[in-house]
Amino acid sequence: MVRGAAWGPGPPPRCPAPCPPLPLLLLLFALPAHGTYAAPAPRAEELSLGMEWLSRFGYLPAADPATGQLQTQEELSKAISAMQQFGGLEATGVLDPATLALMRTPRCSLPDLPPVARSRRRRQAQAPTKWSKRNLSWRVRTFPRDSPLGRDTVRALMYYALKVWSDIAPLNFHEVAGSTADLQIDFSRAEHNDRYPFDGPGGTVAHAFFPGDRHAAGDAHFDDDEAWTFRSADAHGMDLFAVAVHEFGHAIGLGHVAATGSIMQPYYQGPVGDPLRYGLPYEDRVRVWQLYGVRDSVSPTAQPDTPEPEEPPPLPEPPDNRSSTAPQRDVPHRCSAHFDAVAQIRGEAFFFKGRYFWRLTRDRHLVSLQPAQMHRFWRGLPRHLDGVDAVYERTSDHKIVFFRGDRYWVFKDNNVEEGYPRPISDFSLPPGGVDAAFAWAHNDRTYFFKDQLYWRYDDHTRSMDPGYPAQGPLWRGVPSRLDDAMRWSDGASYFFRGREYWKVLDGELEAAAGYPQSTARDWLVCGEPRAGVSVGGAQGGPQGRTQDGPAVCSCSAAARTLPLLLPPLLPGALGALARAP
């Protein structure tokens, strides 16, 4: 059974062996079922396209290679009529110019009908496949290389394309930063190790896989040779949002339909409108409801530890509307700062100093050399707040917690939760604030640090583990007094003090050899790398610098203010390691 989908006709594959003689094909395609001439005979290349096309998309069985049996005139005419009906054409049964034009229209390579057996056998009904779980993770694994769309824009469009489906069905999608996800999204070129190699601009443009397709279940691939667009006229490229909505329909188990206007029509239909306002046609709603049921305001399938739905991120403004705000006089310099707090949030690194922060992408590229203001990014922090003591992302619900003095705030994405700030005594922490906080994935616990003491806290039960505080340091070679700490996407934990940082490998209780290293050099692209030293310092640290200079993301100013998207994957079995220190 075919399990994927790819938009676009692609190059005509070879004719099913053995190919029928061309004179016979000319006769069969030129004649309707009743045997009278209705159209000029197609050319040889059109015949090859028509035969292969009808077989590929489920209208016609391939010729039997063992017996050399050919399709009959009646079979061919019925196949053409079925294709014409599905595509909204007059069902003449003749391979006429309109039918050939539709065959050349960009479309999905998933068959329109279930696979066709030999003519004397019945078609087997194609049972729908669907996810057995309702909380699905996703990530963009590779991004377009030469596209005007920034990475944050691509991620936001994927978010909105998935939200189209989760708005009406009891499915929850959350973005993750790790190496595994239920829905992996890639931008690739040519052959990329699946059944649907891309063919350059204008042919096959994307494909996706049904939930039951083993390791590739739910994955979506987009052709990196296409001119991907967003909020552009139809003639200016391929609308990424429209294609993504279609492909994610396959990723959750929907096949093609013939209904006019449906997003699951096999043929590319151009832009479908603003992602912020797009709603699925009724036919598509009914079909997804048949698979998963209707989404209530509170989904009955949700589990107690299910992350709450995310606030939709705003899409960037056009490049011409970039901010030209003059820098503030109190802006610190990243290369000389002793940072107040460091945190990994949604897979990205945030370095806080005073009222400002710097942000590094998942690929460890600095978004901008200039910092952003905290209260403009996290709406609800007081405008007069002149700094934070610690920041971390909770593993229990992926909300973001800020500490300052004896108070703390909890944010869902960029918006403060109602009722905050609250006293840090909620954590059973003493007055006076904390120096650092981070969640250690090794045992799924959150650690708080103050002077030479540390506490171990369970965010799932909202309780402090017995026996704390304890005397530091917990990790040998790491200072007992910290500015902050975080876990990075490479699996290691990083501890910061002053202008230096220490790296602790996953599960280890001792700093890696060769540390401390320079925070400014390895994370904030300051200075030149030393000759003969690999990217990131002696131990291959985190920042994506090269021997030719620092790596800075070329995101637009608008993209630099794009709020966080979706939370990372819940740690799952890590709770079993709670016996660790």
Q: Residues 203-232: pLDDT tens digits?
A: 678 889 999 767 889 999 998 888 888 877
Per-residue model confidence (pLDDT) at position 313? 65
* Residue located via tokens 């057996």: 117
Q: Name the domain boundary from 121, 146, 161.
A: 121
CA-closest candidate to residue 228, choices 106, 144, 160, 155: 144
**Cα–Cα distance between 391 and 378 in angstroms, integer?**
12
333 is in an annotated binding site: no
**Cα–Cα distance between 268 and 259 in angstroms, integer?**
14
435 is in an annotated binding site: no
Question: Residue 65: is its pLDDT beyond 70?
Answer: no
Contact present, 348 and 544 (Cβ < 8 Å): no
Find residue 107's DSSP bridge partners: 267
Q: What is the DSSP string of 144-197?
A: -SS-SS-HHHHHHHHHHHHHHHHTTSS-EEEE--SS--SEEEEEE-S--SSS--
* Residue located via tokens 């990994």: 344
SS3 at position 391: strand
Instruction: Name the strand (E) or helix (H) holding 49.
Output: helix 44-56
Most confident of 57-61, 152-156, 166-170, 332-336: 166-170
Q: Which residues contact 140 (CB under 8 A, 6 or more apart)?
A: 151, 154, 155, 158, 185, 186
**Cα–Cα distance between 493 and 507 in angstroms, integer?**
9
How confident is residue 317, by pLDDT bands cut at 50, 70 and 90?
low
Question: Residue 134: is its pLDDT beyond 90?
Answer: yes
Residue 557 backbone phi and psi in degrees, to 5: -60, -35
Is 322 part of any domain?
A: no
**Cα–Cα distance between 404 and 385 in angstroms, integer?**
9
Higher pLDDT, 114 or 12: 114
Q: What is the mean pLDDT of the chain?
A: 75
Q: Are residues 482 and 542 in the same domain?
A: yes
Question: Residue 43: is its pLDDT beyond 80?
Answer: no
Question: Residue 330: is its pLDDT beyond 50?
Answer: yes
- Amino acid present at 44: A
158 is in an annotated binding site: no
Tell me whether residue 215 is exposed, middle or buried, using C-beta atoms within 10 angstroms of its C-beta: 0 to 12, 13 to 18, 19 or more.
Answer: exposed
Question: Residue 29: is its pLDDT beyond 50?
Answer: no
Q: Name the domain boundary from 121, 145, 177.
A: 121
225 is in an annotated binding site: no
Q: Are residues 252 and 286 in the same domain?
A: yes
Handedness of CA 227, 232, 236, 240 (dihedral sign): positive
Per-residue model confidence (pLDDT) at position 213? 61
Q: Name the domain boundary from 267, 292, 317.
A: 292
Bond prior to 469 in cis (omega within 30° of 0):
yes
Split into its structural domains, the chain has a count of 3
Instruction: Name the strand (E) or helix (H) holding 241.
Output: helix 240-251
Contact present, 210 and 221 (Cβ < 8 Å): no
CA-closest candidate to residue 484, choices 510, 513, 454, 463: 454
Contact present, 254 and 264 (Cβ < 8 Å): yes
CATH value at residue 466: 2.110.10.10
- Three-class secondary structure assignment of 347-390: CEEEEEECCEEEEECCCCCECCCCCEEHHHHCECECCCCCCCCE
Q: Are residues 437 and 571 in the same domain?
A: yes
Q: Are residues 335 and 410 in the same domain?
A: yes
Q: Are residues 34 and 116 in the same domain?
A: yes
**Cα–Cα distance between 301 and 281 in angstroms, integer?**
25
| Edge-to-edge strand ranges of the sheet holding 517-518 | 484-487, 493-497, 500-504, 517-518
CATH value at residue 75: 1.10.101.10
Question: Residue 41: is its pLDDT beyond 70?
Answer: no
Question: Residue 250: is its pLDDT beyond 50?
Answer: yes
SS3 at position 23: helix
By residue count, the chain amounts to 581
How confident is residue 15, by pLDDT bands cut at 50, 70 and 90?
very low
Per-residue model confidence (pLDDT) at position 141? 93
Q: Are residues 449 and 530 in the same domain?
A: yes
SS3 at position 527: coil
Is 323 part of any domain?
A: no
**Cα–Cα distance between 259 and 286 in angstroms, integer?**
12
Instruction: Please tell me the chain's helix, strand, coil percentages from 3-state DSSP, rounded to the nearest 5.
Output: 20, 20, 60
Q: Within 10 Å of residue 269's Cβ, how many Cβ atoms?
A: 18
Contact present, 33 and 77 (Cβ < 8 Å): yes
Question: Residue 199: is its pLDDT beyond 80?
Answer: no
Among 247, 310, 348, 393, the one annotated catalytic: 247
Lowest-pLDDT choice from 311-325, 460-474, 496-510? 311-325
Q: Are residues 382 and 528 in the same domain?
A: yes
Q: And the tokens for 569?
A: 């994957």
Per-residue model confidence (pLDDT) at position 558? 32
Per-residue model confidence (pLDDT) at position 7? 52
Instruction: Give the mean model confidence (pLDDT) for residues 166-176.
Output: 93
491 is in an annotated binding site: no
Q: Are residues 21 and 60 in the same domain?
A: yes
CA-closest candidate to residue 84, choices 102, 66, 108, 67: 102
DSSP 8-state secondary structure symbol assigned to residue 427 = G
Q: Are residues 98 and 144 in the same domain?
A: no
Lowest-pLDDT choice from 27-36, 230-239, 307-316, 434-443? 27-36
Higher pLDDT, 11 or 160: 160
- Active-site residue, 46 included: no
Q: What percent of the chain has pLDDT over 70?
A: 72
Instruction: Give the mean model confidence (pLDDT) for residues 257-265.
Output: 86
199 is in an annotated binding site: yes
Is 129 part of any domain?
A: no
Per-residue model confidence (pLDDT) at position 64? 60
- Domain range for 465 is 330-577
SS3 at position 513: coil
Bond prior to 473 in cis (omega within 30° of 0):
yes
**Cα–Cα distance between 62 and 135 in angstroms, integer?**
40
194 is in an annotated binding site: yes
Higher pLDDT, 23 or 496: 496
DSSP 8-state secondary structure symbol assigned to residue 523 = H
Per-residue model confidence (pLDDT) at position 44? 67
Inter-CA distances, 65 with 16, 61, 69, 79, 527, Å: 8, 12, 8, 20, 67
CA-closest candidate to residue 310, choices 166, 213, 489, 461: 166
**Cα–Cα distance between 298 and 290 in angstroms, integer?**
19
384 is in an annotated binding site: no
Q: And the tokens for 75?
A: 């079979």
Question: Residue 292: is its pLDDT beyond 80?
Answer: yes
Lowest-pLDDT choice from 82-96, 376-390, 552-566? 552-566
Q: Are residues 390 and 366 in the same domain?
A: yes
Q: Are residues 270 and 364 in the same domain?
A: no
pTM for this one?
A: 0.51
Question: Residue 555: is its pLDDT beyond 50?
Answer: no
Q: Are residues 109 and 192 in the same domain?
A: no
Is 341 part of any domain?
A: yes
Question: Residue 514: is its pLDDT beyond 60?
Answer: yes
